[in-house]
Each structure stands twice: as structure tokens, then as C-alpha cells.
Structure 1
Amino acid sequence: MGKLIVFWSPIHGQGGTSANAAAIASLFSLEQSSHSLLTHTQLTYSPLDSYYSKEKRAVGFENSGIQALERKVKSNLLQPEDIPDYTDTIYKRKMDLLIGSLKENEDSASDNLRTISRILYSAKGHYDTVWVDTHAGVHNETSKTLLEAADLVVVCLPQNKYVLERFFTGDYFPSELRNKPYIILISRYEENSSLTVRNIKRAHKVKVPILPVPFSPTYLDAMNNHSVAEFFYRVNRIQNGDPAYSFIRAIRTVNETVRKALGLDKEEDGL
């Protein structure tokens, strides 16, 4: 079975969850020997859907994406080998994207949870790694279920003292993370802030990995221009001094940490 990596933030709009999921999954897929699926937990449209193509913003997805797979789930016909037929290929034999729908979803929350769970379980039977951008917040049932099911959780936090304190003191810390492998990303990181990674670790006595993801205007432009796939195709040409250099270096460091957390380094040593 493949590995399930869940991106989650305790708060809406500040954690950079979708941006981090797209960046980390894209670069991991290009630079590692694995076949990946990138998706989200919204049966309807997510901003993640637009990062790779402008056209997805204006068309319906009746024969592809989560909506089409939902029909297979309800008919009890979904098999792991079915998943790629309903995805968009981002990097051939490297990464597929499973998008949502522009239609309003009328199912109950429990039905939606069942649909998402079945799709992701089947995806793990086909892909080496499944990267999921999930709802923010500590009360969403779908997110809580995925946090518990994940092989690794990537917690996305802002460089905000109030949010950091509430996370580390427990107000924003879900019980599903206890005894669960997870790492922490500080999104839109400013190295000149007093809230450095070192100071955060010292103040809260943190033992889990905390990694910075610096703000990158060029990556922001790629998301806004629906060209994230092309942005990461060019990373081998990015040299020291390039505006995106520190960002790419940080994402590579995150991916090294992900590989270790999932035990993928040990698997390659075994080979």
C-alpha cells in the first residue's frame, strides 16, 4: 500500500496548506522514484485545482475528478486501478491530480466522508504516495478522520505568536495527532523575524521537526498564473541568487524530512 500524507492547518487562511501541498508534492514527484497522487477533501472546487491549469476553472468535471469517482463509490464498483482514469496527468508517470467539481454537493457530511475515505483508500492501492490537502480547523470530521488515518501529517502554521502558542499549548492541537508521526511547516517564513524556527523550538520545547517555507513571489506568480507544473520543471535551472533559490532549497529539505519520516530511505537502502 502507498503512503498517505495529509496537509492540515488548525486555522483557515493563514497556514498556506494548499500552496505547501502543491509545492512539496510536485517537487517530490519530480525528484523521487515514486508515482504520486495529489488531491483534496473538497468534493466541490478547491483553489488547488487551478494551480496547474487555467481551463479547470471554467469547465465541469462530470466524467473526471472526485465527482465521477463518487458515482463508483456509491455503486461499490471502485477499484484502485480505476483512479488514474479520472485524474489529470501533471507529470507523466510521476504525478496525477484528482480535482473536485464546480457543482454543489448535496450529500450529507457522513456520505461525503465515506466517499473521500473510499477514494483515498483505493488510491493508496495504486500510488506510492497520496498527498491530500484537507480542511483547516480542529472540528471538521473529515479532517479528523484523515489525521488519524495518515501515515504522516504535515501541520502548516503561520509565523504568528498567538497561533503558535495556541497550537503548542493544546487549544489548536487535535487529539488525532497524539502518537502520530507529524512535521511542522512555518509558512511564508521571514528569517529576520524574532519568531525563528530555533526560538520557536526553544520556547515550546518541540521535539518534532519544524521547517521553514519562505515566501516566494515567483511561486505565488506561478499559482496565480496556473503554471505550478512549469515552475517546478524549471527548478534544475535555478541557481544561488535566483529569487526562488531559497524557496526550492527549503522544499527539498522538507522532502528529505518526509522521506525519513515515512521510512523511504530505509526502503531504498534495502534495495
Structure 2
Amino acid sequence: MALAYPERILLFNEDHAGAGVESGFSFHEHACGGNIQPLTEYGMDALRRLAANQRLTSRNFSDYTYPLIKDKLDLVSGFGLQEKQEQFESEKMPRPLYDVAEQVYDMIFTRSIYPSDCTDRPIRVAVLRQNRLELERFFDEFSNGDQASPLADAIVLQRYDPASHWSAVNIRRRFECKIFLYPVPHSTEFMDAWNNRNILKFFRLHRLMSNKGSQKQGMLPSLMSLSEGLHELAAGRTGTARNGKRGA
């Protein structure tokens, strides 16, 4: 999304440093000589200290993030110390950090287990598999939940197999799904790039290939469709799938 849209984006890691969303990037290798070590002058630990001392502002927030794409995509590294994470979990979401980040960035992405604590309801994306029990559990909770604050605004089917009986079309029909539904197929190249912490190079390379028209289907077009849908949701242009058909 950062390569395709003008908005400034922040990836917010609520996991350990080096884990979660940041595990696909190589900045730790440059900063730590190849080893994942707590870098408390950056990331969650540093931002929490500044917020606790009332020194965190929109002017200095980005100084404590890792720039992945200059002026386009930054990352807040996760916790470097176990006691810090335990303190964070006991307090749920670090609202002061998000409040300041929202003054700097157009879009913030995070994997959070405490979405309901946000002052402004975020866009929620459920990442599911083509697994019957998992799908039944999700849609049961979704249908019985608060319609004013739904469990999810969109669904991503990860490692999607189009040949499965549990296809996006059949899932939508079976569960009467009316929200965005995006199947994202498995990609061996993506998996290898992630494990090699070379994910930015992967996206740049395949974006060039896509521009040349050499890639018509697979993971990258699916991610582009997902990015477009999330961008529309964030912009407020649409909040539900058009006629229940958006994304699948």
C-alpha cells in the first residue's frame, strides 16, 4: 500500500522486538549485527518512556520509529523487555501513543487483541483460513455481536486455495457474508522473502513486474485488491461491500 498510495503509513508492532510484523524486514540486522536485540532507544519502549514523561509529541514521534520507505512507511518496533510487555498488556492499548501517531500518520496498521479500547472505532480486518470450524466460530460471533460495532469490517482468507470447496464464493453464500472478503493465495516467493527479511525488495520487484503486465494473477494482485479496499474504507467512501460482492 505504501508503494501505491500517497498516504503516510505506520506499522505498529504490539509484539516482541523482531517478532510479528517486523520479522520480515532487515533493519535489525543493520542495527544489531544480525542479532535481534532490544533497542530501547527506538520503538515501543522509547515511545512509552516519552509518553510517561509527557515528552512525546507529533514533532518527535517519528524520530523513534524505523523508516522503511522514506516519508512513506515507518515502523514502531515491539517490546524489548518482558516486563515492559507485561505492563503494556495490563494497561491494554497504549492510547497516548496512538493519539500522537494519528497526528503524524494517515493510516496506522497494527495487530491488536484490544480493538474495542480505541476512542475512534478502527477498521477491523479478520484474518482467517479456509477452515470450517474457524469460519463457523467467526461468523457465529459476528452475527451475534453488536451491529453498531461489528467484529470485522473485512475478512482476509490467508493462504487461499481456489480449488477448495471452501472457496470465497461458497463461504460468502454459506454464511451470508455481506462484508469485504479478500482471498490471498499462498506464495512461496513471499514466504522465502519474509524468512530472509527481504520483504521490501520482494514488493518492489513484483510491483515492477506488475507494471510490465507480466503478472495477472496470484498473491500480488490479491494484495493490490485488498489495499484498494482498505484504502476506500479508511477514506470513508464506503463501509460495506457493494451488493455483498466486493473483494471476492
TM-score (norm. length: structure 2): 0.82
Instruction: Specify the alignment match of 2:63 in structure 1.
Output: 85
> Which of 95, 102, 110 in structure 2 is aligned with 1:117?
95
Does 1:37 find its partner at 2:16? no
Q: Secondary structure at the match of 2:62?
A: helix
Q: Does 1:193 align with 2:164?
A: yes
Which one of 207, 214, 222 corresponds to residue 250 of structure 1? 222
| Partner of residue 211 from structure 1, selected from 182, 190, 212 | 182
5+ residue gaps, structure 1: 1-27, 136-141, 267-271
2:208 corresponds to which of 222, 229, 237: 237
Residue 63 of structure 1 aligns to a residue whose secondary structure is: coil
| Structure 2 gap ranges (5+) | 239-248
Counterpart position of 1:8 = none
Identity score, percent: 22
Q: Distance in 2 between matches of 1:189 and 1:29?
A: 23
How far apart are the structure 1 equivalents of 2:16 and 2:169?
38
Q: How much has 1:181 moved relative to structure 2?
A: 6.6
Structure 1 residues 238-265: Cα deviation after superposition (integer angstroms, max 9, x where no partner): 25666x9511100010111112212266
User: Who is 1:24 aligned against?
Assistant: none
- The 1-side partners of 2:132 and 2:76 are apart by 35
SS of structure 2 residue aligned to 1:58? coil
Q: Quote the offset at 1:218 in angstroms.
A: 0.6
1:102-158: CA deviation from partner (whole Å, max 9, x where unpaired) = 3212553565425x22111110110111111224xxxxxx34424x74431111111
Aligned to 2:191: 220
The one-letter code of the counterpart of 2:97 is I
Q: Which has the higher contact order (CA 8 A, sep 6+)?
A: 1
* TM-score normalised over the length of structure 1: 0.75
Q: Residues of 2 paired with 1:187 and 1:227: CA distance?
A: 20
* CA distance in structure 1 between the aligned counterparts of 2:235 and 2:92, rounded to whole angstroms: 28
Contact 1:64-1:87 at 8 Å conserved across structures: yes
- Greater shift in the superposed pair: 247-256 or 103-112: 103-112
CA displacement, residues 33-78 of structure 1 (integer Å, 9 cap, x when unaligned): 1111111223655232221115265222121111001101111221
Q: How many residues align?
A: 230
- Gap change, CA 1:264 and 1:35, over 3 Å in 2: farther
Moved more, 80-89 or 248-257: 80-89
Radius of gyration: which is bigger? 2
CA-atom RMSD, angstroms?
A: 2.7
Between the aligned partners of 1:44 and 1:246, the Cα distance in structure 2 is: 31
- Judged with a 3 Å threshold, the aligned counterparts in structure 2 of structure 1 residues 111 and 150 are, in CA distance, closer, same or farther, namely same
